[in-house]
Structure 1
Amino acid sequence: MTRMIARIATLVALSALLAGCNLRPLYAGGTSGVVASELGNVEIEPIAGKAGWLLRNALKDQLEAFEGQEAKYRLTVALEDKIAGFGVRSDDRITRERRTLRARYQLVRLSDSVVVLDATAGSDAGIDVVSSEYATLAAEDTALENLANRVSNQIVTRLSLFARTEANTSPEP
């Protein structure tokens, strides 16, 4: 019984500490919050290639949830998509591939063309190379779609953090 009371007391003390640590939800206020309204003001430039098309669509899917009035920022993305074989049999046939998608992106403020955010995002995926060429190509395409979604999530998260920081540092009207 005393153990249980001690655990409850510890839990209450930790809860009090957590409440005082100034944690705030990133998307506080929902779609009318500060972060959401800033994300709605981002226009995405076209990105070259199949990987670019997939990434741009993934970004649009996430950012269109936050509808803004007018574009304040432009997001430009340069992609690097690589496939490298690394599993090799004794007969020199590749058995495993790694597909890597890296994105360097910049957020440009349209009012004065200043780059306000310059960052990178990336992810990789392993692909089994099987005897069926069609199956291997399908696995490579699926990996690319998944990578585009992961990189998109990383970019939107970083844009959200930027938007929150901007909202906290900009003067109140």
Structure 2
Amino acid sequence: MERIVACLVLPLLAACGLQPMYAGGPDAGVAQGLAAVAVPAIPGRGGWLVQNALEDRLGIAGDESTRYRLDVRLDDSLEALGVLNDDTISRERRILRARYQLVDTSSGEIVLDATAGSDAGIDVVSSEYATIAAEQKALENLAEEVADRMATSIALALRERARGAAAE
């Protein structure tokens, strides 16, 4: 029964225009484009976390083959959400936003100019150590989430760029 359903659904998926992003594996145009992105140092601990996460996702090939540069500016903020009657904070919200530009290093053209962001809620407990640990863990998780969104956006932009070059 499952095979029959799968056989009926597959032609519908092909008709809707869905295509695998990385068809062709590491030799695919998108994968090669992602590997050719250089990510300069981003200031701060959040910047270091985002840079490492981006390098993991993009599969950086090395400085000799970079074709693109990814310029990133981060905004990391922590704000109080829950304030009790005695003016103590019971909940915080950590927000990580990235403004980034993908630049073609050969022409100086801005291929992509976008933003990505995410936020997380943190319970403030009586232990200061536990609260600081929760804030740091939230930053680590947010850096991963923002890097995922950025990598997806970059992959889509490079795919569209490759389609445009193939059409010409």
2:91 is aligned with 1:122: no
Q: Which residue of 2 aligns with 1:88?
A: 83
Q: Which residue of 2 aligns with 1:21?
A: 16
Q: Which residue of 2 aligns with 1:75?
A: 70
SS state at 2:93 partner = strand
Query: CA, structure 1 residues 36+15, in 2 after alignment: closer, same or farther (shift >3 Å)?
Result: closer
Q: Which residue of 2 aligns with 1:164?
A: 159
1:133 counterpart letter in structure 2:
E
- 1:11 deviates by 7.5
Q: Alpha carbon RMSD of aligned pairs, Å? A: 2.0
TM-score (norm 2): 0.90
2:66 counterpart letter in structure 1:
A
Which residue, 129, 136, 150 being the options, matches 1:134? 129
Which residue, 34, 58, 63 being the options, matches 1:39? 34
1:156 counterpart letter in structure 2:
A
Where does structure 1 lack aligned partners over 5 or more consecutive residues?
Answer: none
1:23 counterpart letter in structure 2:
L
Query: CA, structure 1 residues 108+25, in 2 after alignment: closer, same or farther (shift >3 Å)?
Result: same
2:160 counterpart letter in structure 1:
T
- 1:172 deviates by 7.5
1:104 counterpart letter in structure 2:
R
2:67 is aligned with 1:55: no
- 1:134 deviates by 0.6
Q: Which residue of 2 aligns with 1:110?
A: 105
Q: Distance in 2 between matches of 1:100 and 1:172?
A: 40
Q: How many residues align?
A: 165
Q: Deviations over 1:81-101 (max 9, x none)?
A: 000011111111100000000
Q: Which residue of 1 aligns with 2:148?
A: 153
Q: Distance in 2 between matches of 1:57 and 1:15?
A: 37
Structure 1 or 2, whichever has the larger Rg, is 1
2:24 counterpart letter in structure 1:
G
Q: Which aligned runs of 4 or more in structure 1 are off by greater than 6 angstroms?
A: none
